[in-house]
Chains A and B, each alone.
Chain A
Amino acid sequence: MTDVLNAIVLITNFVLVPGFTYGSQLALGALGITMIYSVLRFSNFAHGEMMSFGAMITILITWWMQSHGISFGVLPTALLALPFGILATIILVLTADKMVFKYYRSIKAPPVTLLIVSMGLMFFLGGLIRFIIGPNDQRFFDGERFIIKARSFKQMTGLNEGLAIKTTQGITVVLAVAMVAFVFWFLTYTRTGKSMRAYSNNEDLALLSGINPERVVLVTWVITAVLITLAGTLYGLDKSYKPFTYLSLLLPIFASAIVGGIGSPIGAILGGFVIAFSELFVTFAYKRVLGYLLPEQMEPDGLMQLLSTDYKIALSFVILVLVLIIRPTGIAGGKTL
């Protein structure tokens, strides 16, 4: 019996907890991609850099707060700085929309043009971020590190395996759930949310019924900016902030959005968790789990890993490619292009 419990704790510690955290981060990012896609109808390649921008502003404000002795007790100070980061990101995306994207909307440019334009914006923001904060790793976490420590868990339960939950992991999941709940409430019950869905469903019909397209676009960017900043900051808080990682994060996020079905909010969340868990489950070394579950003489020699950890990120692309071939509309049946 203890063997089974040990095996469960082992998997919880190394797969389930990190999976829920990483999945929430991906889901927030993918929800943003999907919102932009369904209302503005293009794939935003600048999404990763926008996340990076939001996180950067939050970091700068956090540092300022820390230097003035402001702290949030056991919670990281970054949470106090987050509203300012969100505000700055809202200003950024609205400026970008006005200066860059609006023109292409007005001439009804094909989605590919907008995609390439967003690539230009990606370059620009990437440069701006590195110019302001530099290309290196930045640490901005403070407060209590763990909710449950591995050692105290062992003492508490008397098991061999420990379970550790970091504060950042807890915060990530709580904030992500709250934000996702808010977005769904907004889309389903408010007038503006309904008009957004109508606009995304059938633009002409929405225009005929008197929906103001610029207002829909504005609200979409604002919500996306909140999602973007949350995703970027939580990722930076949990792992570490480095401008470069946000460009490589773009692909798993796109993968999540497409796997779930682009244009479908619920799909984006599903997709995020599918990608996160498959990355972790496939690259997890099952040696110790099997060691607990199997009789002693059958214990395996190798690591019992399906794929080496080096391929962790590549796996999300493999899933993406598979979904694109087998079911291009994604799990939840979004739009096909």
Chain B
Amino acid sequence: MSSRMRIFSVFFVMAALLVIVGMYQSWNVAFSILNLCVISSIMALGVNVQWGYAGLVNFGVMGFVAVGGLAGVIVSMPPVEAAWAAGGVQLMGGFAVMGLVILAATIFWKKTAHLKNTPGKRYLGMALIIILGYALYRFIADPAIDAIEAVEPAMTGYLGGLGLPILFSWIVGAIAAGLIAMLIGRIALGLRSDYLAIATLGISEIIIYVIKNEDWMARGVKNVNGLPRPVPYELDLQKEAWVNSLADSMNYSVINTSSLIVKISYLMLFVAVLIGLFILAEKALRSPWGRMMRAIRDNEVAAEAMGKDVKSRHLQIFIIGSAVLGLAGAMLTTLDGQFTPASYQPLRYTFLIWVMVIVGGSGNNYGSIIGGFIIWFFWIEAEPLGLWLIEFLTSGMSADSALKAHLLESAAHTRLMTMGLIMMLVLRFAPKGLIPEAKR
């Protein structure tokens, strides 16, 4: 089968699956799955840029997605004036002190380079600067944070955002994730593959911990609800005359129609982003730059010998991929309309995205997109499917059997097993994935 046929048939099967869900479950379910499919494939695209193009193992997906989500809160929520008055300025002062300390430490480190042979003094000085600086920062920031978190803790207790339209956060999220990736990349990209995986996984956990515990930023585990939307609200739509007449003509309830319209509006926004990113990613892959990246991935030593700056190319692609992840994270928060730090789990936001890339076919943008669609689809649908399967298998057992009850109760967990199994099978028998990377 030619690769074009293959792409076409896989996408066709996927569309058919969604139509089946639409007909037999409901169109609302189908579209909510589809929306998350699109976001998932953008995440997969981001990972594919890093792993497929350049061979970088980024297990910190969750962290970048969360940074994007945080951007959603900071851009779109209205500022909390009382909190700013209570301690906002002082907290910013604390950050300024922190910045100065880091600057001082860097300068000290550079200026004392001649002490290399007696590093004891150098380390002592560094430790002293950092400890004193940290104490000073805590001294300034702690009361400010307490004051901010004391402002109506049940409702706000945080600084709020900028009150801008939430669509801005998509750009801000991408930039913020890119900046953090630059910082991390400078630290971790020198490490070899295994270490990079573990280091990025650890760093993403640190990011989540900070978001969870720094309540002044986005209320921590108390969550931020009711983010402004880029699309109309269902209740407003239900009052519109054209929605009512549309519902009548489709023989559908007004409530369902309105939520369907909302989902389709989101979908159009998401698909626009996906198409834009896809075109860019394909152009990059076919450009001399993409060729260089593949050369570096396939043989680092040879590429370096040809005068390619491997280290800065790696950093570049790490930033680009992470920015895409940040964008996807902001989109996800926009869709949810809330930011819930506790929901960021590595299994769901890091490893599942990796399954998408591997199953779809790494190094191939079509593959990542279809991987995102298929894996998300089964992640959601494996639960009803697993339940159905177990009901079928246990239909011979008596109704009050304890084993049957336990199996039915555990059916939800079959999806983890299925994902693991699919991934291991693909890696073993079709290591290039559903849509293999084209030979160029």
Contacts and interface: CB of A to CB of B under 8 A. Distances in A.
Given A124-B416, A126-B420, A134 B194 contact: no
B416 A126 contact: yes
A258 interface: yes
A119 B346 CA distance: 12
Interface in B195-211: 195, 197-199, 201-203, 205-206, 209-210
B427 A120 contact: yes
Nearest to B220: A310
Contacts of A311: 209, 213
B197 A125 contact: no
A111 B202 contact: no
B418 A127 contact: yes
Contact of A123 (B57, B193, B198, B419): B419
A328 interface: yes
Contacts of A219: none
A48 to B, nearest CB: 11
A313 interface: yes
A337 interface: yes
Interface string B361-405: 000000000000000000000000000000000000000000000
Given A120-B420, A122-B420, A317-B206, A134 B188 contact: no
Nearest to A43: B194
B414 A112 contact: no
Contacts of A183: none
B413 A135 contact: yes
A112 B417 contact: no
Question: Which of B55, B191, B346, B413 has the most chain A CB within a 10 Å cutoff?
Answer: B413
B424 A310 contact: no
Interface in A303-325: 308, 310-311, 313-314, 317-318, 320-321, 324-325
Given A116-B358, A321-B202, A43 B424 contact: no
Contacts of B192: 336-337
Interface in B236-292: none
A123 B63 CA distance: 20
Contacts of B191: 324, 328, 337
B71 interface: no
Contacts of B410: 130-132, 134
Given A122-B351, A130-B416, A131-B410, A112 B193 contact: yes
Interface stretch (A69-77, A207-215, A247-255, A290-298): A247-255
Contacts of A121: 420, 424
Contact of B409 (A43, A111, A134, A258): A134
Contacts of A64: none
A182 interface: no
Contact of B205 (A112, A123, A125, A314): A314
A130 B421 CA distance: 15
B209 A310 contact: yes
A320 B198 contact: yes
A103 interface: yes
A100 interface: yes
A113 interface: yes
A325 B194 contact: no
B217 to A, nearest CB: 14
A251 B201 contact: yes
Interface string B23-34: 000000000000
Say what secondary structure dominates the interface of chain A.
helix
Interface residues of B, number: 43
Given A132-B410, A134-B409, A310-B209, A124 B424 contact: yes
A124 B421 contact: yes
B349 interface: no
Contacts of A127: 413-420
Contacts of B420: 120-127
Given A120-B423, A121-B420, A131 B414 contact: yes
B421 A115 contact: no
B417 A123 contact: yes
A2 B31 CA distance: 70
Question: Which of B194, B213, B355 has the most chain A CB within a 10 Å cutoff?
Answer: B194
A119 B47 CA distance: 16
A325 B187 CA distance: 6
B347 interface: yes
Contacts of A123: 347, 351, 355, 416-417, 419-420, 423
Interface string A95-139: 000001001000000111101110111111111101110110000
A235 interface: no
Contacts of B354: 116, 119
A138 to B, nearest CB: 14
A124 B351 CA distance: 12
A100 B198 contact: no
Nearest to B194: A43
Given A116-B354, A117-B424, A321 B203 contact: yes
Contact of A112 (B194, B203, B431): B194
B351 A317 contact: no
Contacts of B203: 317, 321
13 contacts: A111-B194, A115-B197, A120-B423, A121-B424, A124-B420, A127-B413, A131-B410, A247-B347, A310-B209, A313-B205, A317-B206, A324-B191, A328-B195
Given A120-B427, A134-B409, A337-B192, 18 more contacts: A43-B197, A120-B355, A120-B420, A123-B420, A132-B410, A247-B347, A251-B201, A255-B202, A258-B198, A310-B212, A314-B205, A314-B206, A314-B210, A317-B205, A321-B203, A324-B195, A337-B191, A337-B194
Interface of B: 55, 57, 187-188, 191-195, 197-199, 201-203, 205-206, 209-210, 212-213, 346-347, 351, 354-355, 358, 409-410, 413-421, 423-424, 427-428, 431
Please provide the 6 A-B residue pairs with the shortest distance between their CB atoms, ordered closest to farther.
Answer: A124-B420, A127-B416, A123-B420, A127-B417, A337-B192, A317-B202
